[in-house]
Amino acid sequence: MTESTYDPKKHIRKTLKEKDLFEYVKEIGKPARMTGTEDEFHDVLIEEIERLEDPIDIARLRLTSSSFYLTKYQPDLAEKQVQTVMEEKDLPRELRILCLYYLGSARLDLGNSAEAEAIGKQALGLTVDRASGLSTILLNQMGVFYLIQMKYYLAMEYFLETKENAGKLGIEEVYFVAINNLALAYNRIGRYAESETQLLENLAHARKSGFPERVPIAQTTLSVHYLSTEEYEPGLKLALEAVESAIRSKNPGNECFRRILLAKFYRGLGKHSEAVECIKIALAIAEEPEYERHLSYAQRIYGSLLADSGDPEALLYLDRSIKRQEAQMKDEAPEGLESAYFEYGKFIADKDRESAAEYVFKAIQIIKKRPLSPHLKRILAEAEELADRLPPVSAVESASIEISQENLAKILDVSKAIISETKLSSALEKVLDIALEISGAERGVIWTREKAELSLAYAKNFSGEIVEEADYPAINQAAWKVLETGGEFSAATPAEVKKKISGLPGYAEPMEAKSFFTFPLSANGRAIGVLYLDSRFASINMSATIRGLLLSVMDQATMVIEKIKSLEEANRQSSQLKREVKKKDNELKNVFDIVEKQQRELEERYGVHNIVGRSHEMKAMFDLIERAAQSDLSVTIYGESGTGKELVARALHYGGPRKEGLFVPINCASIPEGLLEAELFGYEKGAFTGAVESKEGLFEVASGGTLMLDEIGDMGEQMQAKLLRVLEENRIRRIGGRLQIKVSPRIVAASNKKLEFLVQSGEFREDLYFRMNVIHIPIPPLRERKRDIPLLVDHFWKKAGGDPSAVPPDKKQAFLRTLSKHRWPGNVRELENEIERIIALGGEMDVEFLSENIVMSMQRPLLSDGLGLPDLNLRELEIKAIEEALTVSGGNKAKAARLMGIPRTSFYDKLKRYGIEMVVRRKFEV
């Protein structure tokens, strides 16, 4: 095919019709390569991508574009095209494999050989037919990954497999590449004769193949071989031809690499000026961003050539090369770093002996880890001879160089997985990836032990569901064998695999793998899981170093399993706890809703608006209650029995800012003083006989709310003193306790005795009285607000279940008149009891159903004192007479006794008995 007869657009459209993906890959770019029109071909390809609508055709062309970018040393653009394709959903399996193939190549060109290897294994795992065209190019790619990583024996296994497949399938181009790569692997492991034979045959085959682009590839590879064996004469001719071919094909990347090789041949032959001229051109190309992959190589050779002539600028280029290679040193030391170390050390040996010794020592350590070609043997001999003349390197530095950076990186990666992952499958995926990378195995499985069962935790690089794999029964049996014995179960060669697998119970089928390794994951002497690795394409002979490193990884895997299982159990318990907490939250919410509802009901029930009364006296009291409710000041309430002192106290509480706190009433007169202290202050466990546990006092309970001290006038002297201390300090100490407890209840004190009089008589502490009597609320007795009786009757009648509106008006009026004649010594409580009695006994609102004492109050004659006073009983008459005598006498008790005509001692007794104040009672005081 000539350039004039080649139409890239027609070729692309024709090749897209090819159903076999591998055939498409082989044919799509072939004419462009043969005619040297790759750039024009790619331009048309991009136009076709814009025109097409079929996602499969677009994906194929994008992957072809990725391949083009790889040949142009633009791996970032290649990867971008692959990633675009991988975003498509429901890609056919073969296209996904091809995506991974190009992605692996891009990652390798970007310097991430470990990532490239993992991607390659993933691609191989997706293949169903291991002898297909796609499988074959994947095998070759895996070999390249291992060749770059200097895992030469593994690389050789994959190249052999590639060669065999390509030969059977008749894939000539791949067969050519496989032989080329296999020869390189032979060279690296010291099998030079086999390497040369393969390369010479390949070069001859390339010249006859009709594909001229293969010739310089074969020449370049053979040149590399001759450099390692230091056969400079035959290599020089090949290198010159390879460079000329790269120039003709206008491929600067190939030209750069081949010129570096050519400069090395010139140097080996002592042609210094030719070597310098050649390497300068290579260096200029390598300094271009797209070809900088060759830069450290070109800098090293140029630096070496300058060193040969004693040019001090040699150090600059050698140092640049070293730094660049060290920055790229993710795995083992890059090939050529040992030469850069040696050349640098040799050049400064006369000027800086200690630094020279360090560089030479580093070179020796790297060389000793590699197969020794004649070239490396010569460098090693020179390096050791030079090292003998230099100061010895310290033991610490020696030890640090012996540590494998690759191995440390692998362990560090697993450790990071343990720290960062909280999901078992994600963590074990990382562990398995690293185990595969270290061992060179292709596929892997991790199981965890769940009681007496093995639970599949993670599987890698299988073509589908692992349980559907033909080898899975054998793999599973191997895992159970390890679990039962607690020891390793492995085979390194196909013969061993066959022998070991045939010995498994209930399984006699041959296994596809060439090597497999099954290890227990143990913690505290007990297997908690199993790690399985295998390779279908290469026999893996694990070295002691690799095995030791793998054991370290397994220790890390054990930590992962133990840690995350504990975490998952904690999460399970946490989730259960969260569900329980949520349930409790809902229950609490319901409780809070109920409490809020009850709070609203309490505020509604005990608000001042629910106290019945429209009289002037009651309205004045309501106004005082509403104003007093908004403060936290102490309040005293005076009222006769039955007037509703607690009702007023509750109105103060539920009408103020403390309404959401507790309202706690206690009747001080009904509890003995010793018990009253325990009730108010609380006590500690063991404070007295019967105190089996600590108990809060009412001061604590009511803190934030209101504490009502009813009948405070009957409180003993000692308790009054303790109450005063609480009011002053807002702190209490429980009985038997040592700690002072801060409290903040609002104190509302109530009494049916006038506290002023009790102070005057010495029965109530004056300081306590003034401390509490900040706000004073007097409650008028019912006899002084008889206008409210009709309202109270209707209220109590409804409350008891009656209907006051159904009572005939005449009957109701007679009923109310009778009630208004009564003195109501029991006040509102007496009236409520009377109404409840009538309703309970089935009575009506009729005079005939009233109690006898109420009816009799209408029949008693009026004993007027000229003030229009109605009939009073003896107690009321005495109280009235005493109050009037005190008023007339201006509070002088002796004079008041004389006015009444009774002894002073009798007068004092009556004052005490009735709790009468010594001044004319004021209606309202604050």
pLDDT of residue 924: 30
Contact 684, 734 (CB under 8 A): yes
Sign of the dihedral through C-alpha 361, 365, 370, 372: positive
Single out the residue of 122, 115, 116, 68 nearest to residue 96, CA to CA: 122
Contact assessment for residue 110 and residue 118, using Cβ atoms and an 8 Å cutoff: no
Exposed, middle or buried, 543 (CB in 10 Å: 0-12/13-18/19+)? exposed
Cα–Cα distance, 870 to 637 (Å, whole number): 27
Half-sphere exposure of 872 (CA within 13 A, CB side): 14
pTM of this prediction?
Answer: 0.58
Cα(910)–Cα(435) distance, rounded to whole angstroms? 105
Residue 919: pLDDT band by 50, 70, 90 thresholds? very low
Q: How is residue 620 written in tokens?
A: 């004045």
Q: How far is CA 490 from CA 95, 532, 557, in A?
A: 34, 9, 19
3-state DSSP assignment of residue 646:
helix
Residue 358 corresponds to which tokens in the numbers above?
């360090």
Contact call for residues 768 and 724 (beta carbons, < 8 A)? yes
Nearest to 192 by CA among 374, 369, 335: 374
Query: Is the CB of residue 536 less than 8 Å from the CB of residue 442?
Result: yes
The fold adopted by the segment(s) 607-780 is: Rossmann fold (3.40.50)
The residues, ordered by sequence, that sit 6+ positions from 803 with a Cβ below 8 Å of its Cβ are 797
Residues constituting the chain: 926
* DSSP state string for 509-571: S--S-SEEEEEEEEETTEEEEEEEEEESS------HHHHHHHHHHHHHHHHHHHHHHHHHHHH
Cα 157 to chain center, whole Å? 45
Q: Rg (Cα) of the chain, in Å, rounded?
A: 53
Burial class (CB in 10 A: 0-12, 13-18, 19+), 53: exposed
pLDDT of residue 469: 80
| pLDDT tens-digit readout, 35-87 | 878 889 999 999 999 999 999 999 999 999 999 999 888 999 999 999 999 99
pLDDT value of residue 772: 93
pLDDT on residue 530: 92
**Which pLDDT tens digit goes with each residue over 554-607?**
887 787 778 777 877 888 888 898 888 888 888 888 877 777 777 777 777 778
Spatial distance between the Cα atoms of 49 and 65, rounded to a whole number of angstroms = 10
Residue 41 contacts residue 49 (beta carbons within 8 Å): no
- The confidence score (pLDDT) of residue 859 equals 55
Region of 919 (left: φ > 0; alpha: ψ -120 to 50; beta: rest) is beta
User: How far apart are the C-alpha atoms of 336 and 367, rounded to whole Å?
Assistant: 10
Separation CA 442–CA 521 (nearest Å): 20
* 151 CB-near residues (< 8 Å, 6+ apart): 440
Residue 546 pLDDT exceeds 90:
no
Tell me which H or E stretch contains 120: helix 113-126
Q: What's the rounded Cα separation, in Å, for the pair 74 and 44?
A: 19
Q: What are phi and psi of 460, to 5 degrees?
A: -135, 135
Which pair of structure tokens corresponds to residue 87?
Answer: 């975003």
- Could you tell me the residue ranges of all domains in the chain? 1-126, 406-570, 607-780, 861-926
Q: Does the pLDDT at position 397 exceed 70?
A: no
Strands, sheet with 489-491, edge to edge from the N-terminal-most edge strand:
453-460, 443-450, 526-535, 515-523, 489-491
- Ramachandran angles phi, psi of 522, nearest 5°: -115, 145
Question: Could you tell me the two tokens for 885?
Answer: 């005598």
Which H, E and C letters describe 13-58, residue by residue?
A: HHHCCCCCHHHHHHHHCHHHHHHCCHHHHHHHHHHHHHHCCCHHHH
A 10 A CB-CB count for 138 gives: 27
Q: Rounded mean pLDDT of 266-282?
A: 95
**pLDDT surpassing 50 at residue 551:** yes
Structural fold of domain 406-570: Beta-Lactamase (3.30.450)
Judged by average pLDDT, the poorest of 270-274, 458-462, 716-720 is: 458-462
Q: Which helix (H) or strand (E) holds 228?
A: helix 214-229
Query: Which of 309-313, 440-444, 562-566 is predicted least confidently?
Result: 562-566
- Flag whether pLDDT at 477 surpasses 70: yes
921 burial level (CB within 10 Å; 0-12, 13-18, 19+) = middle
H or E segment to which residue 443 belongs: strand 443-450
In this predicted structure, the answer to whether residue 466 has a pLDDT above a threshold of 90 is no
Whether 868 has a pLDDT exceeding 50, the answer reads no
Q: How many CA atoms, within 13 angstroms, populate the side-chain half-sphere of residue 900?
A: 26
Provide the H-helix boundaries in 335-455: 337-347, 353-368, 374-388, 395-402, 405-420, 424-439
- Please report the pLDDT score of residue 923 as a whole number: 31
Share of the chain above pLDDT 90, in %: 46
Question: Would you say residue 638 has pLDDT above 60?
Answer: yes
Residue 263 predicted with pLDDT over 50: yes
% of the chain beyond a pLDDT of 70: 92
Mean pLDDT of the chain: 86
Beta-strand relationship, 515-523 and 489-491: antiparallel
Question: What does the pLDDT look like over 115-124, one tens digit per residue?
Answer: 899 899 999 9
pLDDT confidence tier of residue 871, bands split at 50, 70 and 90: very low
Per-position DSSP letters for 160-200, written without gaps between them: HHHHHHHHHHT-HHHHHHHHHHHHHHHHHTT-HHHHHHHHH
Instruction: Looking at 630-658, list the stretches that DSSP marks H as alpha helix, in order from N- to C-terminal side.
Output: 645-654
Burial 74-95 (b: 16+ CB within 10 A, else e): bbebbbebbebbeeeeebeebb
Strand residue runs (E) in 723-852: 731-732, 741-742, 746-751, 775-778
Distances (CA, A) of 807 to 94, 803, 811: 99, 8, 7
Let me know: does 22 contact 173? Beta carbons within 8 Å. Answer: no
The structural architecture, per CATH, of the domain 1-126 is: Alpha Horseshoe (1.25)
For residue 416, pLDDT over 70 is answered with no
**What SS3 class is residue 131?**
coil
From the number of C-beta atoms within 10 Å of its C-beta (0-12, 13-18, 19+), residue 473 rates as: middle
Distance CA 857, CA 817 (A): 11
pLDDT 10s digits, 902-917: 878 878 888 877 777 5
Architecture of domain 861-926: Orthogonal Bundle (1.10)
Q: Is residue 861 over pLDDT 60? A: no
Helix, strand, or coil here: 635?
A: strand
| Mean pLDDT for the stretch of residues 478-485 | 89
The identity of residue 600, as a single letter, is: R
- Between vectors from CA 398 to CA 154 and to CA 324, what angle results, nearest 5°? 60
d(CA 780, CA 788): 11
Please say if the pLDDT value at position 811 is more than 80. yes
CA distances from 174 to 15, 216, 251 (A): 19, 16, 21
Question: Region 230-252: what's the mean pLDDT?
Answer: 91
Average pLDDT of the segment spanning 762-774: 93
Top-confidence residue, 782 or 564: 782
CA distance 680 to 154: 88
For residue 795, pLDDT beyond 80 = yes
d(CA 788, CA 805): 17
C-alpha distance across the termini of the chain, in Å: 119
